[in-house]
Amino acid sequence: MWLLWLQGTEAAPPIVQACVESWRHHNPGWEIVVLDASNLRSYLPTRRLVDLVETSAVTPASLSDLVRFELLHEYGGVWVDATTFCTRPLDAWLPPCVDEGFFAFERPDVDRHVSTWFLASAGGHPLITEWYRRALEYWEGRSAADEYFWAHYCFTEMLLENADCRERWAHVPRRSADEPQQARRAGLHARVDRSDHPIWSPTPVHKLTHRFPMPTRPVTGTTLLGHVLQMSPTSSPSVTMTEGRSGAGPFRAAPARPVRGFSLTTSNVGDHVQAIALERLLDLHGVEIVGRVDRDAELDSVTEPCTIFLAGWFKHGDGNWPPAAVVDAVYLSFHMRPHQSAALLSDEAIEHYRRHEPVYGRDQFTVDRLRAEGVRSEVSNCAATTFPRRLISPDAGKVFVVSRDRRILEHLPPDIGEYEYVTQYAPTSDHDANMAIAGGLLDRYRTEARLVITSLLHCALPSIAMGIPTVVVWPINSRAGQASDRERFSTLSSLVPIHTMEQLRQGEARVVTPDIASTKLGLRRLVADSLSDRGASRPFPVELLADPTSLPPGSSHHSDERRALEAELRRRLDGEVRASHPSVSRVGPDRRSWWGRISRRIRPFR
């Protein structure tokens, strides 16, 4: 569950603190993430919103709309505004509403079809993805919003113009936004003397507001505000509501060590894919990489104090391992090949790992080897799993077959149709050239791929992260090579089935798009926490947001036009056949399991 109060709940009005605590109290099995300026970067999957705030006059309300779209598109879950008050557990009423994988209260006013203060969605659901895409399109080339309810109007226009989205919305159970808004409309300073007041209505959610003058006298139970505060489970409405470790603490004023990156002298572009993933994570936090160290030749010879994130494949350790004592080593997605270099498990190396515990390994094999040596280690998965979920391109219709070995082409099923073979091995070992090649391939997969068939780990992982349907097969290899592949793929195999070439040929391979939201969140939090520990984090630049009064709530100079569009949409929807209980097959076999996935607590790595 996601909530946002940019100033932090310590500085929030009592009504906001009471609302946040109501969600915690009624939903103890959920992970409730309360976002603010200090931790927002820890969860955002891209720099889009940072860049937008730096270049446009975005108000806090508009930023909040964009944040909810981006987070629900990327991870899924439930968004609740910090001024919504919970009276019933989500598990008691929401499951029947999300059979389609999406839910929102409808028709909050005559010119708006949907409310945004409560949204539930599976990650990458077509409705939230298309809504988010249109929201980004709205801001292209724009310096400011032209109306307060622009995000709501994007939804209306989406349904009018997109038949698939209109059909999906028609299958979402209807629940009016009117009842949750009655208490606010009655006025929070109104006297409450009757038990039939809206605050005691059966609605599980009340949409309240912080936009009212607080009384100078103590709040009593005779007013609606007093009853709300008394209904709050916390004894004091000033309780701090901060979620998790990421970004929770104050930022250090002391200058951080410079962060240095890697240079890679290899033709294996998969290594560069991992490097791009790590550098994008750091860039999201505004971290500048100052100089590079050759991964395979220079780690032990660094002379100036610096921080280096050790993520990826390490196999050439002889004479280069462990890293120099001046290196502040952060083991994020570490993978070792000790059979290629005994130095990776030397006594000196083990002592080095212990000084930099915990060591987060890319795969179970690495973690097991380290634990056997008494090193505290946990699986974090590969940095390549943090690539953001894509916004589907209209050109995404191509099949990519990606392998180092062209013999995979002999095992393709006969009905595969047209495809493009990609090797992910470059004709050069130049770092900059191969970073460009890797970036170009990632862009092509993101914008063009309908399906990826691959035997390469660092094609499979970014494809899965971007939400591309993917088939993974074991490489054609010797017996010793197969054993090595099982080590390298030891965590990938927990995410997706890995098929034999014969299964691929017989058409028995399964196309999957697994939900890896927990993996992404875990890795992004690890980076955020590591940077915060070193004084290298930056809060979200809320100081650049436009004055909230520059676009007063509810102002719109297109009200007549918007009401006409909404009326047209209602006529169109009312005239279309809508099933009360849509079949499971409409949106795929995982639809029924979505509720179970999002309602399980996402466990952080530490």
More confident: 564 or 37: 37
Most confident of the ranges 45-59, 168-182, 198-212, 249-263: 45-59
pLDDT band at 457 (very low <50, low <70, confident <90, very high): very high
Amino acid letter, residue 454: T
pLDDT of residue 233: 63
Residue-wise pLDDT tens digits, 206-242:
898 876 555 544 445 567 767 666 766 653 333 333 3
Contact 56, 142 (CB under 8 A): yes
Task: Name the burial class of residue 127, with classes exposed (0-12), middle (13-18) and buried (19+) by CB atoms within 10 angstroms of its CB.
Answer: buried
Nearest in space to 472 (alpha carbons), one of 530, 402, 378 = 402
Is a pLDDT exceeding 60 seen at residue 253?
A: no
Position of tokens 């500048």? 288
Contact 330, 530 (CB under 8 A): yes
Task: Name the burial class of residue 597, with classes exposed (0-12), middle (13-18) and buried (19+) by CB atoms within 10 angstroms of its CB.
Answer: middle
pLDDT of residue 364: 93
- What integer is the mean pLDDT of 194-205? 68
Helix (H, G, I), strand (E, B) or coil at 126: helix
- The predicted model scores a pTM of 0.89
The Cα–Cα gap between 449 and 443 comes to 10
- In whole angstroms, what separates CA 196 from the centre of its chain? 41
pLDDT of residue 210: 76
Amino acid letter, residue 455: S
- What integer is the mean pLDDT of 17-32? 93
Is a pLDDT exceeding 80 seen at residue 135?
A: yes
Contact 508, 499 (CB under 8 A): yes
Q: DSSP 3-state helix, strand, coil percentages of the chain (rounded to 5)?
A: 40, 15, 45
Q: Which of 205-209, 385-389, 410-414, 599-603 has the lowest mean pLDDT?
A: 599-603
The strand pairing partners of 330, in sequence order, are 309
Position of tokens 């709501």? 152
DSSP 8-state secondary structure symbol assigned to residue 22: H
Q: What is the DSSP string of 158-220?
A: HHHH-HHHHHHHHTSPP-BSHHHHHHHHH-TTSB---TTSGGGSS-SEEE--S-SPPPSSPP-
Is a pLDDT exceeding 70 seen at residue 507?
A: yes
- What integer is the mean pLDDT of 475-487? 88
Torsions phi, psi for 402 (to 5 deg): -120, 120
Residue-wise pLDDT tens digits, 379-407:
999 999 999 999 987 778 999 999 999 99
Average pLDDT of the chain? 85
pLDDT of residue 240: 32
- What integer is the mean pLDDT of 228-257? 47
For 74-87, letters b (16+ CB in 10 Å) and e give bbbbbbbbbbbbbb
Alpha carbon distance, N-terminus to C-terminus of the chain:
20
pLDDT of residue 576: 65
pLDDT of residue 447: 95
- What integer is the mean pLDDT of 53-67? 95
The Cα–Cα gap between 238 and 234 comes to 9
pLDDT cut 90: percent of the chain above it: 65
More confident: 226 or 309: 309
pLDDT of residue 82: 96
- What integer is the mean pLDDT of 254-277? 89
pLDDT of residue 554: 66
Is a pLDDT exceeding 80 seen at residue 324?
A: yes
The strand pairing partners of 33, in sequence order, are 2
- In whole angstroms, what separates CA 483 from the centre of its chain? 34
pLDDT of residue 396: 83
The Cα–Cα gap between 266 and 23 comes to 51
The strand pairing partners of 167, in sequence order, are none
pLDDT of residue 195: 60
Contact 147, 153 (CB under 8 A): yes
Cis? peptide before 475, omega within 30° of 0: no
Is a pLDDT exceeding 70 seen at residue 326?
A: yes
pLDDT of residue 605: 31
Q: What is the DSSP string of 415-442?
A: T--S-EEE--B-S---HHHHHHHHHHHH
The Cα–Cα gap between 84 and 27 comes to 14
Q: What is the DSSP string of 50-99?
A: HHHHHHSB--HHHHHHHHHHHHHHHTEEEEE-TTEEE-S-GGGTSGGGGT
More confident: 377 or 395: 377
Is a pLDDT exceeding 70 seen at residue 520?
A: yes
For 457-472, letters b (16+ CB in 10 Å) and e give bbbbbbbbbbbbebbb
For 13-27, letters b (16+ CB in 10 Å) and e give bbbbbbbbbbbbebb
Helix (H, G, I), strand (E, B) or coil at 414: coil
Residue-wise pLDDT tens digits, 536-595:
888 999 999 999 888 777 655 557 777 888 888 888 887 764 444 343 333 333 333 444
Amino acid letter, residue 531: L
